[in-house]
C-alpha cells in the first residue's frame, strides 16, 4: 500500500487533479476505520481503498461531482434493510466520508501536502487538521493546517490560532479523530502524520524476493540487507526503499533502530543468524523475527544464554518466524511473515473508539 500523502504530493507535482476521500467517522461493522483514505483520479481510478462495495461506489460517483463543481462534499452513509442485502461492506453500520478536491493550480494546498510528504519521508511527525465543511471551494486553502512536531505551522495559521489549546492539544492526538467543540464550527478532523514503520530484511535470498514487495504493499518501508551485491540489488528488489550491500558485521553501525523498527532474519546460515540475533537483541527494535526450525533456534538460544543473554529477552524473539498457517513454499512463508508483522503492528497501534465494533476487511 502506497503512502497516501506521498501519492498526493506526487500527483500534484505531476499536475494531476485528485479528490481525497477520508472516513472521518464510522460505527457498527465496517472493514475500515476512521482515518482511512483513498484518492480518486479524474478517470475514476482509485489509489487506496476505504472498504470497497457500495460505499466506495458512491464515493467514486460523488467524486465526479466534486471534480465538476470544485467543492468539497460530506457523505453520510446509514445502511439498513435492503442496502445491507446489497453489500457486505457495512453490515448495518454508519460512515461519514469527507471528499476534498485537491488541485495543483492551488499552490498553497500543494505546498502544504508537499510539507506533509517531506515530513513522512524525513521520518518526522506532525498532525494534519482539516475543517469539515460541505461545499468548501477547492481554491479555499484555509481549511487545512499542518502542525509539525516542533509546533511550526504550514497553511494559514491566522484563523486557527484562536482554537483552544492550539497547538499542543492537537499534537497530542494519537489517532484520527473529530474535534467538535460547541463553539467551533465546523468540526475539525485531526490526523497524526508519521512515517511508515521500517522493516529491515537481513538476507536477500529467495524468500526475501517475495517478502519485500508483500511488506511494502502492507505499508512498511523496506530495507534489504545482504553481504552479496549479486543478491542485494535493484534488479531483485526494484520496489524496496533501500538496499544495503555490506558485510553483516558492519550493518548495525549503518542503521538506526527504534521501537517502530522491525527486523526479519532470513540469512543463508546458522552463523549469520547467530551473529545478527546477538546484535539485534542489543537494540530496542519493536519486532525481531528469525527463520528456522525449533532445533536450530534452540541451538542458537543455548549459545546466547551461555554468553549472558537472558531467557526472558530471547522469549521476545519471534522464532520460528511467521504465523502458523502451514506455509511450505517461499511465497507462502513470505505471506506468513508479513501476516505476523501486520498482527504485531496492529497490537501496538492506538485503538479507535469504535474498534471493538469493527469487523475485519
Q: Say yes or no: 214 and 321 in one domain.
A: yes
Domain boundary among 83, 102, 121: 102
Q: Which residue has the cell 475543517?
A: 131
Query: Residues of the chain whose pLDDT is less than 70?
Result: 1, 28-32, 79-92, 182-185, 349-361
CA-only gyration radius of the chain, Å: 23
C-alpha cell at 223: 530495507
- CB burial string 301-317: b at 16+ within 10 A, e below: beebeeeebeeeebeeb
Return the pLDDT at 30.
Answer: 55
pLDDT reported for residue 163: 84
Boundary-marking domain end, from 102, 122, 144: 102
Residue 349: what pLDDT? 63
Q: What is the residue-wise DSSP string for 94-120?
A: EEEEEEEEE-TT-HHHHHHHHHHHHHH
Give residue 145's pLDDT.
96
* 248 and 341 part of one domain: yes
Residues near 108 by Cβ (< 8 Å), separated by ≥ 6?
A: 141, 155, 156
Same domain, 202 and 183: no
131 and 267 in a single domain? The answer is no
221 and 80 together in one domain: no
Cα separation, 225 vs 200, in Å, equals: 7
Whether 184 and 214 map to the same domain: the answer is no
Q: How far apart are CA 318 and CA 263, in angstroms?
A: 10
DSSP string of 302-338, one letter each residue? HHHHHTT--HHHHTTSB-S-S--S---SHHHHHHHHH
CB atoms within 10 A of CB 13: 13
H helical segments located in 24-176: 53-69, 82-86, 107-121, 168-171
Cα end-to-end distance, the chain, whole Å: 15
8 Å CB contact between 21 and 97: yes
Same domain, 210 and 315: yes
| pTM assigned to the model | 0.80
Maximum pairwise Cα distance, the chain: 70
Cα 134 from chain centroid?
27
Place of cell 521501537: 259
pLDDT of residue 344: 96
Closest CA relative to residue 50, chosen from 71, 26, 74, 18: 26
Q: Quick one: 275 and 214 in the same domain?
A: yes
**Grid coordinates 545482504 are at which residue?**
226
Query: Are 306 and 239 contained in the same domain?
Result: yes
Q: What cell was used for 306?
A: 551461555
Same domain, 211 and 187: no
Q: How far apart, in whole angstroms, are the C-alpha atoms of residue 36 and residue 7?
A: 14
Helix axes 4-13, 107-121, angle to 10 degrees: 140
From residue 109, alpha-carbon distances to 220, 291, 292, 356 in Å are 27, 46, 50, 35
Final residue of a domain: which of 193, 220, 246?
Answer: 193
Q: How many domains does the chain have?
A: 3
Instruction: Please return the burial class of 127, using the count of CB atoms within 10 Å of its CB with bins 0-12, 13-18 and 19+.
Output: buried
CATH of the domain at 213: 3.40.50.720
Enclosing domain of residue 238: 198-348
Asked if 173 and 247 sit in the same domain, the reply is no
Q: Is residue 218 part of a domain?
A: yes
Amino acid at each position: 500500500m502506497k503512502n497516501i500523502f506521498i501519492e498526493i504530493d506526487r500527483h500534484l507535482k505531476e499536475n494531476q487533479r485528485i479528490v481525497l476521500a477520508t472516513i472521518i467517522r464510522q460505527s457498527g461493522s465496517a472493514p475500515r476505520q476512521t482515518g482511512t483514505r483513498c484518492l480518486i483520479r479524474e478517470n475514476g481510478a482509485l489509489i487506496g481503498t476505504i472498504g470497497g462495495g457500495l460505499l466506495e461506489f458512491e464515493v467514486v460517483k460523488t467524486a465526479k461531482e466534486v471534480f465538476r463543481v470544485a467543492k468539497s462534499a460530506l457523505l453520510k452513509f446509514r445502511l439498513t434493510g435492503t442496502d445491507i442485502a446489497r453489500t457486505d461492506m457495512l453490515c448495518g453500520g454508519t460512515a461519514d466520508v469527507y471528499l476534498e478536491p485537491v488541485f495543483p493550480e492551488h499552490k498553497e494546498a500543494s505546498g502544504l501536502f508537499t510539507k506533509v510528504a517531506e515530513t513522512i519521508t524525513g521520518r518526522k511527525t506532525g498532525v494534519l487538521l482539516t475543517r469539515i465543511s460541505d461545499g468548501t471551494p477547492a481554491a479555499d486553502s484555509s481549511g487545512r493546517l499542518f502542525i509539525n512536531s516542533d509546533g511550526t505551522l504550514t497553511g494559514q495559521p491566522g484563523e486557527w490560532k484562536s482554537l483552544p489549546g492550539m497547538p499542543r492539544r492537537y499534537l497530542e492526538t494519537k489517532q484520527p479523530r473529530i474535534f467538535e467543540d460547541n463553539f467551533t464550527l465546523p468540526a475539525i478532523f485531526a490526523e497524526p502524520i508519521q512515517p511508515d514503520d521500517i522493516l529491515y530484511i537481513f538476507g536477500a535470498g529467495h524468500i526475501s524476493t517475495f517478502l519485500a514487495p508483500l511488506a511494502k504493499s502492507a505499508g512498511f518501508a523496506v530495507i534489504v540487507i545482504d553481504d552479496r551485491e549479486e543478491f542485494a540489488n535493484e534488479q531483485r528488489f526494484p520496489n524496496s526503499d533501500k538496499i544495503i550491500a555490506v558485510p553483516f558485521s558492519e550493518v548495525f553501525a549503518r542503521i538506526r533502530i527504534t521501537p517502530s523498527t522491525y527486523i526479519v532474519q532470513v540469512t543463508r546460515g546458522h552463523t549469520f543468524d547467530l551473529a545478527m540475533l546477538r546484535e539485534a537483541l542489543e537494540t530496542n527494535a519493536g519486532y525481531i523475527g528469525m527463520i528456522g526450525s525449533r532445533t536450530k533456534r534452540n541451538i542458537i538460544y543455548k549459545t546466547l544464554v551461555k554468553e549472558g543473554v537472558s531467557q526472558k529477552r530471547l522469549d521476545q524473539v519471534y522464532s520460528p518466524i511467521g504465523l502458523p498457517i502451514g506455509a511450505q513454499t517461499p511465497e507462502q512463508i513470505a505471506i506468513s511473515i508479513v501476516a505476523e508483522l501486520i498482527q504485531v503492528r496492529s497490537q501496538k497501534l492506538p485503538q479507535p473508539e469504535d474498534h471493538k465494533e469493527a469487523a475485519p476487511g
